[in-house]
Amino acid sequence: MIEIKSLTLSELKTALTELNQPAFRAKQVYTWLHRGVRSFEEMTDLPKTLREKLAAHYLLTAPVPVRRQESQLDGTIKYLWQLHDGCCVETVLMRYHHGNTVCISSEVGCAMGCVFCASTIGGLVRRLSPGEMLDEVMFTEQDSGQPVSNIVLMGIGEPLDNYDNVCRFLELVNSGEGRNIGMRHISLSTCGIVPRILELAESKLQLTLSVSLHAPDDETRSKIMPVNRRWPVDELLEACRIYYEKTNRRISFEYAMIRNVNDSPETAKLLLKKLRGLPAHVNLIPLNHVEESPFAPSERGTVLRFQKLLEDQGVACTVRRTLGSDIDASCGQLRKKYSKNPSL
Ligand code: SAH
């Protein structure tokens, strides 16, 4: 069955014309869908026969929250949603002074194999549809009662490995008749799938591209991120330069600080050399410890020293604030726990 929420407004118009409906119905249905109804029954201003017809022809997704954890420290809320086929994904709502940010998953599991990341441990199960990503935004807002102003695609999965669905999700969530969230309020994080970065550059969307760099040299990066064996550091950074030229958007680089792996002053110097001439912002993330992983976070002093080396050379560099550390808020941890023991 076709998922109705993954359709654009113009596709919905065509679909409803095929069901012999007047043109204005499409906008009505679209508005209901983007308001987060859980069934066609709730579309109370549609004739009952049309609601039944829609239910017979289309799948209306509405994930169920199987876990909801709220941080006592900072109000971060983490959801584990169960999708219509039983698969689970995580969404995190973070509260900042400038508004609420929702961090959404783009896939169930992940195929990328980064050695420090919990999301990839069971591999890729399936990709999320555009409507399912929209559901994460809408039902997180609905359940928490907190309106969302920013979206980051930094949850489970590799967004550029689900490129077409992610682009369509962006179109849906950005649409004036829908949630109307501006591209400048959306960030997309990738482990570095070069051809897709170049494709995204051509689309000239005004979103923020975040690149998970984590190491400036191929030897280290290939060890921790298998994707680097396919698209090494220099190729990735060349794609970032092209992305900047096409979009005029500064790139954000994520850099997880891993003790004795990528945190030495020499590494900082090499990073500076590699980023020369590229308008960038480096976000240092103290590594979150994952049970199955042998890696440890860098010491606080090491992180601050690394940051200073970058800043002294004029590279914008922040240390990411840790939110929700009491609720397994980082990538994939809750889904993994739940799949091991659903009674938890
Ligand atoms: N697949 C995308 C987005 C998902 S992860 C990507 O790779 O960018 C969001 C960020 O968290 C990425 O930078 C990822 O490398 C990082 N990350 C994953 N596991 C982590 C951990 N244990 N500690 C710190 N950062 C981690």
Tens of pLDDT, residues 63-111: 999 999 999 988 999 999 999 999 999 999 999 888 999 999 999 999 9
Q: What is the pLDDT of residue 335?
A: 73
Cα 49 to Cα 27: distance, rounded to the nearest angstrom: 18
pLDDT tens-place string over residues 188-230: 999 999 999 999 999 999 999 999 999 999 999 999 999 999 9
Q: How many whole angstroms separate alpha carbon 77 and alpha carbon 91?
A: 8
Q: Is 229 helix (H, G, I), strand (E, B) or coil?
A: helix
Enter the pTM of the model.
Answer: 0.95
pLDDT for res 293: 82
CATH 3.20.20.70-classified regions of the chain: 64-338
Query: What local confidence, expressed as pLDDT, does residue 340 receive?
Result: 66
Asked whether 249 and 206 are in contact (CB, 8 A), the reply is yes
Q: Which helix (H) or strand (E) holds 241?
A: helix 233-247
Best of 154, 240, 259 for a ligand 1 pocket test (most atoms within 8 Å of beta carbon): 154
The C-alpha atoms of residue 148 and residue 114 are separated, in whole angstroms, by 29
> pLDDT of 261-305, one tens digit each?
999 999 999 999 999 999 999 999 999 888 878 899 999 999 999
Nearest CA to ligand 1 atom 15: 212
Cα of 295 vs centre of ligand 1, distance in Å, is 14
Topology of the domain comprising 64-338: TIM Barrel (3.20.20)
Tokens of 154: 């930094």
| Span(s) in the chain for CATH 1.10.150.530 | 2-59
Return d(Cα 240, Cα 250) in angstroms, integer.
Answer: 9
Buried b (16+ CB within 10 A) or exposed e, 35-70: ebbeebeebeebeeebbebbeeebebbbbeeebebe
Distance 255 CA to ligand 1 centre (A): 9
d(CA 243, CA 159): 17
Q: What is the pLDDT of residue 333?
A: 67
d(CA 31, CA 29): 5
Query: What is the C-alpha separation between 117 and 148, in angstroms, rounded?
Result: 26
Q: Which residue has the higher pLDDT, 74 or 3?
A: 3
Q: List pocket residues of ligand 1, CB cut-off 6 Å.
A: 114, 116-117, 154, 158, 189-191, 212, 254, 256, 285, 287-288, 290, 330-331
Work out the average pLDDT over 45-59. 96
- Residue 144 C-alpha to ligand 1 middle, in angstroms? 25
H-helix or E-strand spanning residue 31? helix 24-33
Residue whose C-alpha is closest to residue 139's, from 211, 9, 245, 33: 33
Number of C-beta neighbours around residue 21 at 10 A: 19
Selected catalytic residue, list 90, 107, 132, 254: 90
Q: What is the CA radius of gyration of the chain?
A: 21
- Average pLDDT of the residues of the chain: 94
The pLDDT confidence band at residue 24, using thresholds 50, 70 and 90, is: very high
CB-count burial class (<10 Å; 0-12, 13-18, 19+) for 226: middle
Alpha carbon distance 32, 206 (integer Å):
27
Dump pLDDT digits (tens) for 193-202. 999 999 999 9
Q: pLDDT of 313-339, one tens digit each?
A: 999 999 987 767 777 656 566 676 777
Task: Give the 3-state secondary structure of residue 151.
Answer: strand
pLDDT exceeds cutoff 90 at 115: yes
Structural domain 2-59, CATH architecture: Orthogonal Bundle (1.10)
pLDDT digits (tens, 9 = 90+) for 38-49: 999 999 999 999
- Higher-pLDDT residue of 259, 326: 259
Arithmetic mean of pLDDT, 181-188: 98
The predicted structure's pLDDT at residue 125: 98
- Quick one: pLDDT at residue 321? 78
Banded pLDDT at 310 (limits 50, 70, 90):
very high
Residue nearest to atom 7 of ligand 1 (CA): 191
Compute the distance between CA of residue 226 and CA of residue 203 in angstroms, rounded to an integer: 27
What is the CA 199 to chain-centroid distance, rounded?
18
CA-based end-to-end distance of the chain: 33
What tokens does 306 get?
Answer: 């690394």
**Residue 330 and residue 254: Cα distance in Å, rounded?**
14
Distance 212 CA to ligand 1 centre (A): 7
Task: Check residue 343 and give its pLDDT.
Answer: 60
**Residue 90 annotated in active site:** yes
Catalytic residue among 88, 110, 117, 331: 331
Residue 344 pLDDT > 70:
no
Q: Is 235 a catalytic residue?
A: no
**How far does the centroid of ligand 1 lie from the alpha carbon of residue 188, in Å?**
12
Instruction: Kindly state the greatest CA–CA separation across the chain.
Output: 69
